[in-house]
Amino acid sequence: MEPPTLRYRESIKGISGRKSFTYLARAKEYSRKGIEVINFGIGQPDIPTPKHIVEEAKRALDNGFTGYTESVGILELREAVAEYLNTRYGSDVKTSEIIITPGALSAIYLAMISFLDPGDEVIVIEPSYPPYTEIAKFIGAIPRYVPMIWMGSEEGFRLDLESLENSITNRTKMIILNNPHNPTGAVVPPRDIERLFEIAKSYGVIILADEIYDNFILEETQFTSTISFSEWRDYLLYVNGFSKTFSMTGWRLGYLVAREEVIAKLSNLAVNIWSCPTSFVQKAGVIALKGPWEPVKEMINLFRKRRDYMVTKLREIRGVEVWPSKATFYLFPSIEKILSNLNIDVDSFAEQLLEKKYVVVLPGTAFPDKAGRNFLRLSFSLNIKLIEKGIERFKEFIDELMYK
Ligand SMILES: Cc1ncc(COP(=O)(O)O)c(C=O)c1O
């Protein structure tokens, strides 16, 4: 008989860690040895949290704001979230329709575990943010993947709504829509969002909309938030957070917006998992939303310049096809030609690039399911000098592999 320490719940056995975190640990390991690693794998802005936000957290600590708070989050922060969303997106969100969570990922977890039963199906647009799949697997729910269609370096990625609709079965309960989309950098056009809601209504499924990159719009593109459609709120679980916009990944602060009765259910579970979000971090969140927003704007302008620079540089490399992402801080170039020429897969490409040139990129396979197998994700969350150096090494690596 197995010792009790090995008698896990069945569904935890198949859960994977995250490649991005593994690569991060390896990059740190090389750095400790004094090797300069160029890390394009990072999923967080490289600027510090704006000072006024940090100051507010310090102030809250000094004032002794260190106890438990309401499990749905302090009213002041829920008011700030409602005001922010309603001003920005013309929505009609009330404070009773908001739950503050320790990061957006906890909101996603809370939503998935509250709505999905074992055997239920959830539509995931691939390539995808990995936790959607792992959480589904943990619950015993089944991810059904709908690929983003790669239209080439001029047009980028397109959501195929027809195949999405065809993937719906009578077990489908949820569609996860990550828009703007990690890792492709695509933005779903407004007419597709409306169509998605119509699909959700006709099949009785709910949309979990993860809009964590909504401030990272790099083009004059028509980003439309799902929260702006007040008539569709019965079909929506809306998730956002502070990690990316305010460079607050380590603070752990996010939120979920849904109908009041949904929030009541979710908060009953939340209070039994994390009691409440961290008190003083919530105070900082209020100030983050109230502004000033200049540091955010400056960051986006900086990221736009880096994206343009990186696209130009990558386009100089034979075999790399890159589309200038419309949003996020990632590029998702295809290296299909290189891979088929060399007869290697994208994982071993990324692995060798790290081992030989100390450059971290994430293989597209890090984003379930398989649609990313000819792609790499490169973050432009590092300064131009490092980008230049990293792309130079990347080019050298390809030249050596292809033309040795
Ligand atoms: C698509 C997407 N959703 C959610 C998150 C998680 O955000 P948080 O740090 O607020 O949990 C990330 C972070 O990488 C992400 O890329």
Sort strands 172-178 and 236-241 into parallel, antiparallel or unpaired. Answer: unpaired
The best mutation among 106, 208, 244, 247 to test binding of ligand 1, ranked by most ligand atoms within 8 Å of the C-beta, falls on 244
Beta carbon of 196 within 6 Å of any ligand 1 atom: no
Beta carbon of 368 within 6 Å of any ligand 1 atom: no
pLDDT of residue 304: 97
Please name the fold of domain 52-290.
Aspartate Aminotransferase; domain 2 (3.40.640)
Neighbours of 332 (CB within 10 A): 27
What Å distances lie between residue 157 and 147, 153, 276, 319, 346, CA to CA? 10, 9, 38, 18, 19
Q: Which helix (H) or strand (E) holds 209?
A: strand 206-210
**330 CA to middle of ligand 1, Å?**
13
Nearest partner of 37 among 47, 22, 26, 45, judged by Cα: 26
Neighbours of 17 (CB within 10 A): 10
pLDDT of residue 133: 97
The best mutation among 212, 252, 367, 377 to test binding of ligand 1, ranked by most ligand atoms within 8 Å of the C-beta, falls on 212
Could you identify the atom of ligand 1 that is nearest to the CA of residue 210?
3
pLDDT of residue 2: 78
Beta carbon of 38 within 6 Å of any ligand 1 atom: no
Q: Domain residues of the chain, as ranges?
A: 4-49+294-403, 52-290
**254 CA to middle of ligand 1, Å?**
9
pLDDT of residue 13: 87
pLDDT of residue 14: 85
Beta carbon of 132 within 6 Å of any ligand 1 atom: no
Classify residue 113 by its DSSP letter: H
**329 CA to middle of ligand 1, Å?**
13
The best mutation among 24, 44, 105 to test binding of ligand 1, ranked by most ligand atoms within 8 Å of the C-beta, falls on 105
Report the C-alpha gap between 143 and 138 in whole angstroms.
Answer: 11
Residue with tokens 């935890």: 12
Taking only the tens of pLDDT, the chain with its 404 residues reads 778 888 898 889 888 877 777 888 888 889 999 999 999 998 899 999 999 999 999 999 999 999 999 999 999 999 999 999 999 999 999 999 999 999 999 999 999 999 999 999 999 999 999 999 999 999 999 999 999 999 999 999 999 999 999 999 999 999 999 999 999 999 999 999 999 999 999 999 999 999 999 999 999 878 999 999 999 999 999 999 999 999 999 999 999 999 999 999 999 999 999 999 999 999 999 999 999 999 999 999 999 999 999 999 999 999 999 999 999 999 999 999 999 999 999 999 999 999 999 999 999 999 999 999 999 999 999 999 999 999 999 999 999 988 76
Helices 19-32, 346-357: axis angle to 10 degrees equals 20
The best mutation among 23, 129, 184 to test binding of ligand 1, ranked by most ligand atoms within 8 Å of the C-beta, falls on 129
pLDDT of residue 3: 84
| Angle at 179 (CA atoms; ends 270, 88), nearest 5 degrees | 80
**139 CA to middle of ligand 1, Å?**
19
**238 CA to middle of ligand 1, Å?**
13
**104 CA to middle of ligand 1, Å?**
6
CA 31 to chain centre: 26
CATH of domain 4-49+294-403: 3.90.1150.10
pLDDT of residue 404: 66
Cis peptide bond upstream of 131, omega within 30: no
Could you identify the atom of ligand 1 that is nearest to the CA of residue 105?
11
Beta carbon of 387 within 6 Å of any ligand 1 atom: no
Beta carbon of 103 within 6 Å of any ligand 1 atom: yes
Beta carbon of 249 within 6 Å of any ligand 1 atom: yes
Residue 253 exposed, middle or buried by CB count within 10 Å (0-12, 13-18, 19+): buried
41-97 tens-digit pLDDT: 988 999 999 999 999 999 999 999 999 999 999 999 999 999 999 999 999 999 999
Classify residue 247 by its DSSP letter: T
Report the C-alpha gap between 124 and 145 in whole angstroms.
Answer: 5
**36 CA to middle of ligand 1, Å?**
27
pLDDT of residue 19: 77
Q: Are the C-beta atoms of residues 44 and 247 closer than 8 Å to each other? A: yes
pLDDT of residue 25: 85
Characterise 275 by phi-psi region: left (phi > 0), alpha (psi -120 to 50), beta (else): left
